[in-house]
Amino acid sequence: MTFTDLNLHASLLKAITDQGYTTPTPVQAQAIPFILEGRDMLAGAQTGTGKTAGFTLPLLQILTEKTMPKSNRKIRALILTPTRELAAQVAESVKIYGKYLPLKSAVIFGGVGINPQITMLRNGIDILIATPGRLLDHIGQGTVDLSAVEVFVLDEADRMLDMGFIRDIRRVITILPKHRQNLMFSATYSDEIKTLANTLLRNPAEVEVARRNTSSELVTQSVILVDCKRKSALLGELIAKHKWEQVLVFTRTKHGANKLTEYLQKIGITAAAIHGNKSQAARTKALDDFKRSAVRVLVATDIAARGIDIDALPHVVNFELPNIAEDYVHRIGRTGRAGCEGEALSLVCVDEADYLRGIEKLINKKLDSRIIEGYEPDPTIKAEPIQRGRGGAGGSGNRGGNGGGGDRGGKPTQKRDSGRHEPKRRDNDRRH
Ligand code: AMP
């Protein structure tokens, strides 16, 4: 199948060709025809599958087919994303694919001044990409008009719920016109997601690519067993020895991300951290530096890394295993993308044995584990619960409790242990 078979407009095909894409990915091949038919859709697709183009291309086509007078430009498509990074990336995709079309788009998220956004909204746009918190700020101030929305996209719905945005989403939905097309994307399906889909979607077409909760075939996954306190040294050695030039490393906590970054810098490996306590400017800079290979290692917490789009990332390291098994799938989804092979390596200490079992159960596969000479785990060390456990990069005492730098209003979710230090309520949208 080619993009031409999908009946896309010449101007979209030209933008696709400019990007160098020749063949639609499975989610694009499946989703685009349904969306063009005007159907609501529930798509099970994670980042890396090409899902953004999967909804952006037909959306642009739909909006172009019915043009509106420029003098009365109103928001006709609303795309909600859980994080600022994802919002920025989706906005970038809208610009890239829509570059030959006369549509205007804008992105709004927290952590940056609201006034330029108000001016942008006042000047009139067709497509708005937003995170829930800042969108509700604009709704509250009466600076955004959603009365003409024809297409509503909820991207990474599962992560939205994880981050505690459900009430915000429901509030936004009540403001939208009743008659509209709804597209919902989620990498995983929980009962909460199904409930949301049932209330949001009407007779949805269902699209499922890469079976749920299975990890990419293109990713080589393995485990190195090592004591917590020796993980930093081992990671430094692996990066140096194998001359890895672009490594995304996950920690469970923001503090852990900072500590590891400092350690790597100290031993001469360029590294930057990306997490919710960093300013938007710092996060954007870290990501840009990483993308243009000015830093070799990007150390990230799960939510901060969510949706980061970096082509063909060769190495992902789980410095600490996530306490939610699904996050493992999201993390390793950062590598082995769009047909390129990748390696996902997990450094696992005795405290994390249960997390590892949970992950293996979820992906239905036993991960190969090995021991590196000189870094053999000390058999006398007994497992401790993570909340009180020995600190890896996170340092002791940062695995539990509610430290990690003052997430405003950040109530821990029931599903996650509080060591995650990631946001729960919409206030935190301004931080993430
Ligand atoms: P996404 O899942 O939307 O984050 O996209 C993952 C990556 O795949 C992005 O870097 C896209 O630029 C890239 N991509 C999207 N569609 C295609 C395609 N048809 N062929 C090759 N790469 C693509």
Hey, whose CA ends up nearest to atom 6 of ligand 1?
48
Mutate to test the pocket of ligand 1, among 21, 30, 186 (most ligand atoms within 8 A of CB): 21
Hey, whose CA ends up nearest to atom 17 of ligand 1?
50
Provide the domain count of the chain: 2
Rounded Cα gap, residues 310 and 305, in angstroms:
11
Rounded Cα gap, residues 75 and 121, in angstroms:
9
Q: Render 337-387 in DSSP notation, one character per residue.
A: -TT--EEEEEEE-GGGHHHHHHHHHHHTSPPEEE--TT----TTPPP--GG
Q: What is the pLDDT of residue 191?
A: 84
| 213 is a domain residue | no
Hey, whose CA ends up nearest to atom 19 of ligand 1?
24
Q: Which residues line ligand 1 (CB under 6 A)?
A: 21, 23-25, 28, 47-53, 309, 311, 337-338
> If we measure between CA atoms, which residue out of 93, 9, 1, 108 comes closest to residue 47?
93
Q: If you measure from the C-alpha of residue 52 to the centroid of ligand 1, how many angstroms do you get, rounded to a whole number? A: 7
Q: If you measure from the C-alpha of residue 410 to the centroid of ligand 1, how many angstroms do you get, rounded to a whole number? A: 33
Question: CA 71 from chain center: how many Å?
Answer: 36
Q: If you measure from the C-alpha of residue 223 to the centroid of ligand 1, how many angstroms do you get, rounded to a whole number? A: 28
Q: If you measure from the C-alpha of residue 338 to the centroid of ligand 1, how many angstroms do you get, rounded to a whole number? A: 6
Residues 35 and 165 in one domain: yes
Q: What is the pLDDT of residue 94?
A: 98
Domain boundary among 160, 175, 208: 208
CATH number reported for the structural domain that contains residue 195 in this entry: 3.40.50.300
| 423 is a domain residue | no
Q: Show Cβ contacts of residue 152 under 8 Å, excluding neighbours closer than 6 positions.
A: 77, 78, 80, 173, 176, 180, 181, 182, 183
Q: What is the pLDDT of residue 388?
A: 38
Please count the other Cβ atoms lying within 10 Å of the Cβ belonging to residue 242.
11
Residues 271 and 366 in one domain: yes
Q: If you measure from the C-alpha of residue 61 to the centroid of ligand 1, how many angstroms do you get, rounded to a whole number? A: 18
What does each of the 432 residues of the chain score in pLDDT, given as a tens digit? 889 999 999 999 999 999 888 889 889 999 999 999 999 999 988 777 889 999 999 999 999 998 666 677 999 999 999 999 899 999 999 999 999 999 999 999 999 999 999 999 999 999 999 999 999 999 999 999 999 999 999 999 998 998 889 999 999 999 999 999 999 999 887 888 989 999 999 999 999 875 433 455 667 899 999 999 999 999 999 999 999 989 999 999 999 999 999 999 999 999 999 987 888 788 888 888 998 889 999 999 887 776 566 656 788 999 999 988 878 887 887 776 555 667 899 999 999 999 999 999 888 789 999 999 999 999 998 888 876 334 444 333 333 332 222 222 233 333 333 333 333 333 333 333
Q: How many CA atoms lie less than 13 Å away from 138 in the CB half-sphere?
A: 28
Residues 244 and 174 in one domain: no
Residues 266 and 401 in one domain: yes
Q: What is the pLDDT of residue 63?
A: 96
**pTM score, whole prediction:** 0.61
Domain that holds residue 134: 3-208
Hey, whose CA ends up nearest to atom 14 of ligand 1?
50
Q: If you measure from the C-alpha of residue 53 to the centroid of ligand 1, how many angstroms do you get, rounded to a whole number? A: 7
| 55 is a domain residue | yes
| 144 is a domain residue | yes
Residues 155 and 24 in one domain: yes
Mutate to test the pocket of ligand 1, among 309, 310, 329, 330 (most ligand atoms within 8 A of CB): 309
Q: What is the pLDDT of residue 313?
A: 77
Q: If you measure from the C-alpha of residue 417 to the centroid of ligand 1, how many angstroms do you get, rounded to a whole number? A: 33
Mutate to test the pocket of ligand 1, among 2, 19, 308 (most ligand atoms within 8 A of CB): 19
Q: If you measure from the C-alpha of residue 25 to the centroid of ligand 1, how many angstroms do you get, rounded to a whole number? A: 8
| 18 is a domain residue | yes
Hey, whose CA ends up nearest to atom 20 of ligand 1?
21
Residues 334 and 186 in one domain: no
| 393 is a domain residue | yes
Residues 198 and 310 in one domain: no
Residues 190 and 317 in one domain: no
Question: CA 189 from chain center: how many Å?
Answer: 16
Domain boundary among 148, 174, 208: 208
Q: How many CA atoms lie less than 13 Å away from 315 in the CB half-sphere?
A: 19
